[in-house]
Each structure stands twice: as structure tokens, then as C-alpha cells.
Amino acid sequence: DAKTTQPPSMDCAEGRAANLPCNHSTISGNEYVYWYRQIHSQGPQYIIHGLKNNETNEMASLIITEDRKSSTLILPHATLRDTAVYYCIAAGGTSYGKLTFGQGTILTVHP
């Protein structure tokens, strides 16, 4: 799996967009970018994933650069309940199903 790099922590004001960056400069052509989050000590929750096109669902948007070396997860209107650890993971091909979690980004949403 390609290694990903994320900032250890970020802050965001409630109601504003939260933009969480991820660097995956060694990602291979068949690896997807996945985003998960973990609220307090609960099990991780899948958010979104993409290969090379930008993706959007009811939770978030994923913007992947054209060279696929980095991506940004966007929570368009952050709420206090979005405070969590966010993990960016590159996986696919022969490593499909084997997720490698790094330290993630602790996102704190302030009132």
C-alpha cells in the first residue's frame, strides 16, 4: 500500500467547510483513496473513496489531484458531531481489503 501523510490536527468553525488534506505521492495506478473517520472510541466509519475522479456523497466530497499524488476531503458544513480522527488510506489491487491506518488527522470543530 502507498504511504499517506496527513497533518496531525486541524480546527474548523461550526458551519464552515472543513478541508482535510492527504499526501499519497507513491500511490499506484490501481490503488483507490479511501477516507474513514473514528468518532471518540467507536469503530471507524467509511466516508468516501475515489480512484481519479472527484467524488461526492451525502457525507463529503473528495477532490483528487490530476497526478493523484494528493487529495482533499471536504466536509461542506462542519458540525460539532464531525469532531473525529480522519484517516486517509490508499489501497487496492493485490492489497484490496487490507487497509493500513496511519495516525490520521484529529479534526476539532468549534462552536
Partner 1 sequence: NAGVTQTPKFQVLKTGQSMTLQCAQDMNHEYMSWYRQDPGMGLRLIHYSVGAGITDQGEVPNGYNVSRSTTEDFPLRLLSAAPSQTSVYFCASTPVGLHYGYTFGSGTRLTVV
Q: How far apart are CA 54 and CA 65, in angstroms?
A: 9
* Closer to partner 1 by Cβ: residue 48 or 109: 48
Helices (H), 20-86: none
| Radius of gyration over every alpha carbon of the chain, rounded to an integer in angstroms | 13
Q: Which residues contact partner 1 by CB under 8 A? A: 32, 34, 36, 41-49, 51, 87, 92, 96-104
* Closer to partner 1 by Cβ: residue 16 or 98: 98
Look at residues 92, 95, 74 and name the one whose alpha carbon lies nearest to residue 32: 92
Query: Taking the complex as a whole, how short is the minimal distance between the CB of residue 28 and partner 1, in angstroms?
Result: 15
Cβ neighbours around 70 below 10 Å, total:
18
Query: Taking the complex as a whole, how short is the minimal distance between the CB of residue 59 and partner 1, in angstroms?
Result: 11
Query: Taking the complex as a whole, how short is the minimal distance between the CB of residue 21 and partner 1, in angstroms?
Result: 17
